[in-house]
Amino acid sequence: MAPEPTPIAVHAPGGYDLAEGARWVDGRLVFVDIPTGRLLELAPDSPHTPREILRLDVPLGAVAPVAGRPGHWIAAAGTGIALLTPHGPVRWLARPEDDSPVPTRMNDGVCDPAGRFWAGSMSHSGTVPGAGSLYRTDPDGSVHRVLSGLTVANGPAFTFDAALLYLADSATATIHRLTLDPDGNPTRTEEFTRLADGAPDGMTVDTEGCLWVAAWDGAAVHRYHPDGALLDTLRLPTPRPTSVCLCPEGGRLLITTARQGLSGDAGPAGSILAVPVDAAAPPAAAFRMH
């Protein structure tokens, strides 16, 4: 007898063009809608109705909270890395993609457990080979290009000791695994896996060290063992999942999706989906600004 399909619910409707960057912060889900520059939340008092936290006039790729400063964020936005406050102006730490030979923007980003912020970039079209890079922002606010020659740098995710970094290049359907030294410098880079269907997008690591991957144009989320073996595939009712967030209390996976580039019946494209799972992950790591 075939196993029962996993029940998938629309947790929050929205029809977002490109919802991304799902993170668990202070007891609620936060996520971005990249092209509109919006940061949104699903607060405990309204868990199924997204609420806007802030809006930028440039694409907003992803954010991470700033430790000890409620309402403050570090962001991959526009052509660089910025600090955002509840009411003050944007403070740019660096705009390294201002000098790119093709129009380029920042994409997905996340903090590692050591409190450093990592974010990738890509051409606006997503089709220019080698236009993307990976950047690391240290607690002193300095921004460093760690890798270049990527096309669509996506979904950085870390093991809990900050020793391993998973990085997707969506355009090549490849997930790389980088070994890092204590200062966050790569000492080894290897191919972890390559998707046969769809492109790897947002990712997260669960408490067992397994990697969860949203498969853009694959209508699925995959879970991989640290040795690279595919453990499970969750089939979704819409083709473009963009990021994944495991709730810290366990038992639930939240998935952002996109309607960008889709026409006709694309199911609940642009909504936030919820799936019961037997897994958990810690809340999003914070930026430990000096």
Q: Which residues are annotated as a binding site?
A: 20, 105, 107, 154, 201
The residues, any chain, with a CB within 8 Å of residue 222's CB and separated by 6 or more, are: 195, 212, 213, 215, 230, 232, 233, 234
User: Rounded to whole angstroms, how far apart are CA atoms 121 and 79?
Assistant: 8
Tokens linked to 111: 């903090």
Q: Tell me which residue of 289, 284, 249 sits closest to 160, measured CA to CA.
A: 284
Binding residues for a divalent metal cation: 20, 154, 201
Q: Which residues are catalytic?
A: 201
Binding residues for substrate: 105, 107
DSSP string, 214-238: EEETTTEEEEE-TTS-EEEEEE-SS
Q: What is the CA radius of gyration of the chain?
A: 17
3-state helix, strand, coil in the chain (%, to 5): 5, 50, 45
- Chain centroid to Cα 185, Å, comes to 21
Q: What dihedral angle (degrees, nearest 10) is formed by the CA atoms of 75, 81, 86, 91?
A: 180
Look up residue 163 and give its DSSP letter.
-
